[in-house]
Homo-oligomer: A and B are copies of this chain.
């Protein structure tokens, strides 16, 4: 059978199995693998073993579940039917963001529900759906014959929270992952008719800042005006970190931010997300204004700051003992996350008044990444997406972070082909997260084209 014939029959197999795929996805969404909460450790372990089982069912010759300092990492190997073919490392993460606020969901976040063309549930888009799409593509190909490339699978459980487990794994078991390319579908598309290849990711530098005031809650009448309130200090510190355009005021913060080059300006002009898009996607009454940069530039090309949560005091008439906030910087190449963190520490040191003291804890950082788009894998991916969608994919830099992309490049010299089948209005990290099923179906088709196409590319 010709390659084209094999592709055709694999596509048919995938279509036939799409209902089974949805059943499997609903089962996966049912596992509450929230990596943020230690109370869900057992759920994360369950998600890992559930994925291990899927890999075994696929016929992997080796499946292992590695314990880490946090949640297990699942590894699997599925050799091709022939030798001298490329090896593709398929990356995924089974962990999800917390579903709260639960009251804002129209259906149970862990009882996935199909409404219209969408399936709703936590992780549907980020990234239980796309992860299973990779397995569905492989299963469809196996239904037709042997797979044309060697496959390795690596699924982690801390993408949403911590870098250490994957860092440690790459250090200790890096040689296992030897591959020609990593396929990562944890990015997304700019629109359902805009296949997208991501070549730039922001990194991040995050920590929790705690401000300590009086030794105990104090009556705010008896002490108010004299004893410093840690909430006031924290508010001033946060407020001082940005100017009116939301630009970070830390000295030197932008020194290493790359200018946008002319080629990239051409890509940005094709980018469909304008002010109207951001207003509609956010439901906000207005955007942060910046006279010098377009919204998409501020998301993909420029760093930003975001306070994820703030907390202090209680429902009583008191000056509280402490206040804390999670301060997160999204950084871009060539910023260094440790250097940005040091800038914040210097700022806190300089600007915190002597009436309180401060501490920083739970630091997490990762570097921004630019992926080389001139590789056989990215070319194959581009062809695959073009074939399915009937239009050239857009090359794009996104605002999110996928730490493993940079780590694989830095530690193992493995380039990543980065795409995704989630849409901007999938509400990832928010309530009513969903995945657009017709797009996910096309995603599976594109993955089949990609895996066959990689082999072709190799032969060129």
Interface residues of A (CB under 8 A from B): 36-37, 97-98, 100-101, 104, 160, 202, 204, 213-229, 231-232, 234-236, 238-240, 242, 246, 278, 281-289, 295, 298-299, 302-320, 323, 325-326, 328, 330, 353-357, 398-401, 424, 427-432
The answer, among B101, B215, B228, for a CB contact under 8 Å with A286, is: B228
CA distance A3 to B282 in the complex (A): 77
B residues in contact with A317, CB < 8 Å: 97, 160, 308, 328, 429
B residues in contact with A242, CB < 8 Å: 232
Verify A287–B318 contact, CB threshold 8 A. Answer: no
Verify B214–A283 contact, CB threshold 8 A. Answer: yes
Verify A235–B246 contact, CB threshold 8 A. Answer: no
Give 6 A-B pairs besides A222-B299, A225-B399 with Cβ atoms closer than 8 angstroms. A216-B431, A217-B431, A221-B398, A231-B307, A235-B310, A239-B240
A325 — nearest CB in chain B belongs to which residue?
Answer: B231
CA distance A357 to B100 in the complex (A): 22
Verify A288–B231 contact, CB threshold 8 A. Answer: no
Verify A285–B357 contact, CB threshold 8 A. Answer: yes
A208 — nearest CB in chain B belongs to which residue?
Answer: B315
Verify B227–A287 contact, CB threshold 8 A. Answer: yes
CA distance A239 to B237 in the complex (A): 9
CA distance A316 to B326 in the complex (A): 10
Verify A223–B160 contact, CB threshold 8 A. Answer: no
The answer, among B278, B356, B400, for a CB contact under 8 Å with A221, is: B400
Taking the full assembly, how many copies of this chain does it contain?
2
| CB contact under 8 A between A313 and B318, given known A236-B239, A330-B220, A357-B285 | no
CA distance A353 to B245 in the complex (A): 11
A329 — nearest CB in chain B belongs to which residue?
Answer: B224
Verify A217–B430 contact, CB threshold 8 A. Answer: yes
Verify B219–A400 contact, CB threshold 8 A. Answer: yes
Q: Top 10 nearest A-B pairs by Cβ distance?
A: A215-B283, A225-B304, A221-B400, A309-B313, A286-B355, A239-B239, A235-B238, A286-B354, A214-B282, A225-B298
B residues in contact with A310, CB < 8 Å: 231, 234-235, 310-313, 323
Verify B429–A283 contact, CB threshold 8 A. Answer: no
CA distance A295 to B227 in the complex (A): 9
CA distance A354 to B299 in the complex (A): 20
Verify A355–B214 contact, CB threshold 8 A. Answer: no
CA distance A221 to B236 in the complex (A): 24
B residues in contact with A239, CB < 8 Å: 232, 235-236, 238-240
Verify A316–B98 contact, CB threshold 8 A. Answer: yes
CA distance A309 to B101 in the complex (A): 20
Verify A216–B430 contact, CB threshold 8 A. Answer: yes
A-B contact pairs, 26 of them (CB 8 A): A160-B317, A213-B284, A216-B283, A216-B430, A217-B429, A218-B282, A220-B308, A224-B306, A225-B304, A225-B330, A226-B278, A227-B278, A228-B286, A228-B287, A228-B288, A232-B242, A234-B310, A235-B236, A235-B310, A308-B316, A308-B318, A308-B320, A309-B312, A313-B326, A315-B326, A318-B429
Verify A225–B238 contact, CB threshold 8 A. Answer: no
Verify A427–B216 contact, CB threshold 8 A. Answer: yes
B residues in contact with A98, CB < 8 Å: 314-316
Verify A238–B232 contact, CB threshold 8 A. Answer: yes
The answer, among B278, B312, B353, for a CB contact under 8 Å with A223, is: B278
Distance in Å: Cβ of A369 to nearest Cβ of chain B: 13
Verify A282–B429 contact, CB threshold 8 A. Answer: no
